């Protein structure tokens, strides 16, 4: 079931919300939690009911593992529980890829099974691994099974995030109330949902029509022209930006309708001045998970090994090249390798992760050099800030080519086209449509929106949206304070006009998947 589908907007959401309001007004907190849990299971199974047992077994098994680890913290049990989760993820997501890679590299002819990938298995597996880790360390408090079920399966975040943490979600389930603040909560939640729906239907889907022809062309063996390669790549950057931003707004807005705040997951990442900042603003909860459960443990492990070997741990700003490689570069590269593999089973995703690992390593090294010198020419100037944003975006754009392409060779042909190495007679039999003025104007308008306008979190900064979110104040908000959202007549009319147009578009066409659904 898709957030932008007629079924969800006209039937599922009104029914679930009505039942929730009735139960909470009767102060039936446990029943309200159970109602949302059942609704979430129905939401998930609507996609493919054959994969529902996998989700339910995963939830029940990890709840049992977590309970046992909280009471009897056993390292053997912890390793076994993590191994079961990773084995399930590896089987469903990577078996086909590994067998095909083995056939290609070793010249074998092994049977490639047809495995149905359970929806959102990467998201709910990572979420539960974090829970098991905290249970083993004594940082997870035991809860009722219905609470845990809702924590994992809550439909606003189940399919594409945010990846939530038990400490921020489970306590909220005991405080589900209605009455106080109900109209305001409904207004903020629906405004966010409609804003996300507009990004998806009015921006992401239309700009996405420019993407497929170019990448299909390269997949067929053709090298697109300089202009086609850049137009297709920039269009994909805009598509995934507004698609993921739209999903995040819709998820957070839906959570608020039920009195639940989800963590922020998207914060204008294309405005970042470096790759470290980019990953703190793009898929923020994934970065949080990778940092807390992979990068930090690896760094701690290497630090302990260094101490045992008799070498000192360098102080901040005094890191030696050897220490930098061991304590920063290796953990960073491995963490981003995992990130790439998490996003998809394919060599192109591995290259995407390794490429960003290299970016981050260079970024950390640059910061280290800056700490050893008092000042650098041009540091802090507006021109340097613009250059930093442009360079960061160019690096991200290069990574996105591998993220979107169906294969490494296809991505390489896109890069050759962007570099101006397109032959006069492409190999592919496909013919690319001509780039139109409409496409150029559309991309230019989207660029202005991305780099000049405040995001939805900033616009609604005076009201509770994402959990613990403190939005930056943009230059536009300083000059035009009225840009900040308030439940006023003017904002209501403007929202109603945009929402009407968006809903007509959404309900009159077949809904398209969100891009992160395939991860």
Q: pLDDT per residue over 242-293, tens digit each?
A: 999 999 999 999 999 999 999 999 999 999 999 999 999 999 999 999 999 9
Q: How high is the mean pLDDT of the chain? A: 88
Show Cβ contacts of residue 160 under 8 Å, excluding neighbours closer than 6 positions.
120, 123, 244, 247, 251, 514, 516, 517, 519
Q: Given 157, 166, 283, 343, which residue is catalytic?
A: 343
The burial of 190, by beta-carbon neighbours within 10 Å (0-12 exposed, 13-18 middle, 19 or more buried), is given as middle
Reported pTM: 0.92
Q: Would residue 343 show up in a list of annotated catalytic residues for this protein?
A: yes
- Give the Cα separation of 54 and 119 in Å (integer): 10
Quick one: pLDDT band at residue 349, thresholds 50, 70, 90?
A: very high
- Give the Cα separation of 385 and 255 in Å (integer): 36
372 vs 118, more confident: 118
Quick one: pLDDT band at residue 515, thresholds 50, 70, 90?
A: confident
Quick one: pLDDT band at residue 128, thresholds 50, 70, 90?
A: very high
Instruction: Report whether 85 contacts 129 (CB < 8 A).
Output: yes
Instruction: Report whether 191 contacts 382 (CB < 8 A).
Output: no
Three-state DSSP at 266 gives strand
Nearest Cα neighbor of 257 from 19, 76, 421 is 19
Structure tokens at 298: 């690896």
Nearest Cα neighbor of 495 from 180, 503, 72 is 503
The neighbour count for residue 468, using CB atoms within 10 Å, is 8
Q: What is the percent of the chain with per-residue pLDDT over 90, rounded to a whole number?
A: 58
CA dihedral in degrees (174, 178, 182, 186; nearest 10)? 60
Whether the per-residue pLDDT at 181 is higher than 50: the answer is no
């Amino acid at each position: 079931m898709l957030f932008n589908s007629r079924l969800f907007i006209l039937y599922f959401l009104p029914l679930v919300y009505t039942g929730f309001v009735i139960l909470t007004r009767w102060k039936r907190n446990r029943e309200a939690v159970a109602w949302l849990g059942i609704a979430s299971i129905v939401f998930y199974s609507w996609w493919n009911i054959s994969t529902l047992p996998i989700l339910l077994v995963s939830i029940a098994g990890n709840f049992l593992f977590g309970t046992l680890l909280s009471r009897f913290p056993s390292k053997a049990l912890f390793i076994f529980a993590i191994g079961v989760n990773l084995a399930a993820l590896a089987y469903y997501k990577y078996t086909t890829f590994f067998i095909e890679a083995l056939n290609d590299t070793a010249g074998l002819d092994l049977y490639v099974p047809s495995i149905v990938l359970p929806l959102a298995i990467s998201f709910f597996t990572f979420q539960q691994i974090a829970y098991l880790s905290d249970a083993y360390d004594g940082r997870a408090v035991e809860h009722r099974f219905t609470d845990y079920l809702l924590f994992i399966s809550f439909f606003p975040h189940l399919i594409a995030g945010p990846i939530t943490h038990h400490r921020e979600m489970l306590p909220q389930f005991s405080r589900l109330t209605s009455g106080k603040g109900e109209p305001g909560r409904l207004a903020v939640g629906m405004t966010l949902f409609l804003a996300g729906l507009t990004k998806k239907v009015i921006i992401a889907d239309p700009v996405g029509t420019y993407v497929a022809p170019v990448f299909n062309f390269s997949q067929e063996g053709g090298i697109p022209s300089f202009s086609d390669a850049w137009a297709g790549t920039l269009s994909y950057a805009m598509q995934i930006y507004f698609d993921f931003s739209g999903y995040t707004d819709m998820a957070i807005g839906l959570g608020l309708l039920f009195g639940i705040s989800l963590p922020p997951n998207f914060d204008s990442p294309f405005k970042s001045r470096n790759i470290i900042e980019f990953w703190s603003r793009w898929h923020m909860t994934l970065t949080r998970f990778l940092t807390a459960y992979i990068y930090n443990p690896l760094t701690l492990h290497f630090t302990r090994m260094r101490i045992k070997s008799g070498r000192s741990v360098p102080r901040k700003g005094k890191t030696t090249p050897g220490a930098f490689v061991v304590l920063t570069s290796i953990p960073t590269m491995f963490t981003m390798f995992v990130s790439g593999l998490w996003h998809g089973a394919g060599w192109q995703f591995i290259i995407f992760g390794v490429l960003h690992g290299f970016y981050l390593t260079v970024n950390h090294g640059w910061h280290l050099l800056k700490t050893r010198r008092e000042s650098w020419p041009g540091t802090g100037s507006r021109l340097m800030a613009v250059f930093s944003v442009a360079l960061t975006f160019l690096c991200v754009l290069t990574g996105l080519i591998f993220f979107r392409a169906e294969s490494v060779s296809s991505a390489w042909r896109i890069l050759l086209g962007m570099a101006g190495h397109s032959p006069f007679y492409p190999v592919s039999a496909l013919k690319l449509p001509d780039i139109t003025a409409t496409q150029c104007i559309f991309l230019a308008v989207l660029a202005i929106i991305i780099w000049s306008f405040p995001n939805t979190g900033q616009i609604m900064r005076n009201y509770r949206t994402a959990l613990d979110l403190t939005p930056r104040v943009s230059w536009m908000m300083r000059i035009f304070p009225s840009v900040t959202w308030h439940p006023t007549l003017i904002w209501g009319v403007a929202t109603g006009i945009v929402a009407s147009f968006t809903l007509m578009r959404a309900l009159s066409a077949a809904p398209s998947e969100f891009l992160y659904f395939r991860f």
